[in-house]
Amino acid sequence: MWKARTRAKSVHIIIQNSVYGISRFTANHPDLARTLHSFARLQEGLGTLPTAAALYQRALTIREQVYGPHHPQTSETRERLQAVLHLMDKDENGG
């Protein structure tokens, strides 16, 4: 329990410290997509899959607009989003 609280507190601090950085980006800036992707990975690792999926979706939208659908970074985000959605579907269906 202590480790979970410590981890949650650390994540909260990281997010708070990153709010300034995110606010500097325009809506479709590639650095915003990278930051969103990184936060999604963090949320995925913590098991908060709906949050991770939403962050991956936003990052994917930006990367598709900036880089196009076949760019390696776009593909990476799409694959992570698909994996999270698959895990969420398994959780919903008990499987």
Domain interval for residue 85: 2-92
Who contacts 87 (Cβ-Cβ below 8 Å, separation ≥6)?
49
> Which residue in this structure is represented by tokens 């601090």?
13
Which CATH number goes with the domain that contains 54? 1.25.40.10
**Structural domain total, the chain:** 1
pTM: 0.76
Instruction: Tell me what percent of the residues of the chain surpass a pLDDT of 70.
Output: 73
Q: Which residue type, as a one-letter code, is found at position 83? A: A
> Rounded distance, CA 5 to CA 7, Å?
5
Could you report the per-residue pLDDT of 6-40, keeping only the tens digit for each? 666 666 556 655 555 565 667 788 988 998 999 99
